[in-house]
Amino acid sequence: MTESLDNLFKNGTEKMEKVLNQLHRDFTTVRTGRANPAMLDKVMVDYYGAPTPLKQMAQITVQEGTTLVIAPFDKSVLKEIEKSIIKAELGVAPNNDGVSIRLNFPPLTEEKRKEITKDVKKFGEDAKVGIRNVRRDLTDELKKIEKSENLPEDMVKDNQDKIQKLTDKYTGIIDKEVTSKEKEVMTV
């Protein structure tokens, strides 16, 4: 196999891994009935005019599995943090005691769990679209290599099969992870 084909598969695998990593990041924002500090990863706080990630401004801890306690390093931004949490629409109301903010996550209802599994499926579908886009790019790149290096037809066919196998491998991983996350969400 030529060096350009080796690079093609190496780059394709790296890109598919990135899609998988994004899926994992998306899953951390999904509520499963337990408090998870990663749920606040996307919360940005207006800190002296600059949007700043909450996790850079406060210590976030889990208490009793259902409560997140946010203790800001600078107490003067407590109100801003509270506003940002409300704006993030996490489905819980922040309790500000003047020193820290508590987020109590009530148990999820059956209806809410089913709603959340729809989000999980959507994240999975988005990831699959990403994988298919990588497959399309790899196939296009293979055609360019075929023309530039005059590859034999059977070699091109073999490499198209390899691209499809790589795609199938990653869509299979995504399916398993989506099923696992759905099970986690539906577990009471």
Band of pLDDT at residue 188, cut at 50, 70 and 90: low
Greater confidence (98 vs 125) lies with 125
Q: Please identify which residue in the block is written with the tokens 């790019």.
A: 137
pTM for this one? 0.74
One of 3.40.50.10880, 3.40.50.300, 1.10.3720.10, 3.30.1360.40 is the CATH number of 37-104, namely 3.30.1360.40
Q: What confidence tier does 23 reach under pLDDT thresholds 50, 70, 90?
A: very high
Distance from C-alpha of 182 to C-alpha of 80, rounded to nearest angstrom: 34
Tens digit of each residue's pLDDT (9 = 90 or more) over 131-181: 999 999 999 999 998 888 888 888 889 999 999 999 999 999 999 999 999
Residues of the chain with CATH 3.30.1360.40: 37-104
Query: For the chain, what percent of residues have pLDDT higher than 70?
Result: 98
What distances in angstroms separate CA 167 from CA 81, 142, 161, 177, one per listed residue?
42, 15, 10, 15
Listed in order, the ranges of the chain carrying CATH 1.10.132.20 are: 3-29+109-186
Segment 4-17, tens digit of pLDDT: 888 889 999 999 99
CATH class of 3-29+109-186: mainly alpha
